[in-house]
Amino acid sequence: MEAFITIRFKRETAKRFQEFSKTHYKTHTDAMEGMLDFFFYNEISPKENFGPSVRTIENLIKKRINGVIAIIKDIEKTQTKPTAAMLLSLLEQETNKKPLLIEKKKLHQSELNQTKNK
């Protein structure tokens, strides 16, 4: 059996460590080894600043997405909907003209039939 030594911590820090250790590891020794290994293998220092947190990055992304949505809505209002309305009006005009063309064809065919009959 390995020997133990005593390390002095402030009472609040010791309680936090004990709670952390109970939730994530079987023993306090395993918890301490796990934390030390984490810093050693990832070659980071516990005093390093990792930059913006996930929440900060998430908020920035949400703001940018909202900006993109606003741009797309503006494009729809100023470009897509007016263009669609113009195309729709052109198609309506075409549908109104088509019966006239059919009537002209019928008139033209009837004139041809009359000339053949003569």
Q: How far apart are the first and last CA of the chain?
A: 126
Instruction: Write down the pLDDT at residue 66.
Output: 94
Q: How many CB atoms are closer than 10 A to CB 35?
A: 16
Confidence of residue 95 (pLDDT cuts 50, 70, 90): low
Residue 105 has pLDDT above 70, yes or no: no
* 71 vs 103: CA distance, rounded Å: 48
Tens of pLDDT, residues 44-59: 888 877 777 788 889 9
Domains of the chain, residue spans: 1-50, 52-118
